[in-house]
Amino acid sequence: MKPLLTHVLRDHVLLGAVPAVLLVPSWGLGPAFAFWLSNILIDADHYFRFLLLTRFKALSLGAMFRFCEEAHQYRHRLELFPLEIFHTVEFLLVSGVVTFWFLPWLAPVFWGMIFHILVDLIHLWHGGVLTKRPHSFVEYWIRSRRFRSRGEDPHLVFR
pLDDT at 78 (0 to 100): 62
Q: Is residue 2 pLDDT above 70, yes or no?
A: no
Which of 43, 57, 45, 46 lies closest to 116 in space, CA to CA? Answer: 43
Whether 32 and 20 have beta carbons less than 8 Å apart is answered as yes
pTM of the model: 0.87
Residue 59's alpha-carbon distances to 26, 28, 103, 125, 137, in angstroms, are: 39, 36, 33, 31, 26
Summarised one tens digit per residue, pLDDT across range 44-83 is 998 998 898 888 998 888 888 888 777 777 777 666 678 8
Summarised one tens digit per residue, pLDDT across range 80-133 is 678 899 999 999 999 999 999 999 999 999 999 999 999 999 988 988 888 878
Q: Can you tell me the distance from the alpha carbon of 144 to that of 41, in angstroms, rounded to the nearest whole number? A: 27
Q: Can you tell me the distance from the alpha carbon of 143 to that of 96, in angstroms, rounded to the nearest whole number? A: 26
pLDDT at 81 (0 to 100): 74
One-letter amino acid at 82 equals P
Q: Phi and psi at residue 39, in whole multiples of 5°?
A: -60, -25
pLDDT at 7 (0 to 100): 60
**Residue 93: alpha-carbon gap to chain centroid:** 15
Whether 102 and 112 have beta carbons less than 8 Å apart is answered as no
Which of 58, 56, 61, 30 lies closest to 44 in space, CA to CA? Answer: 61
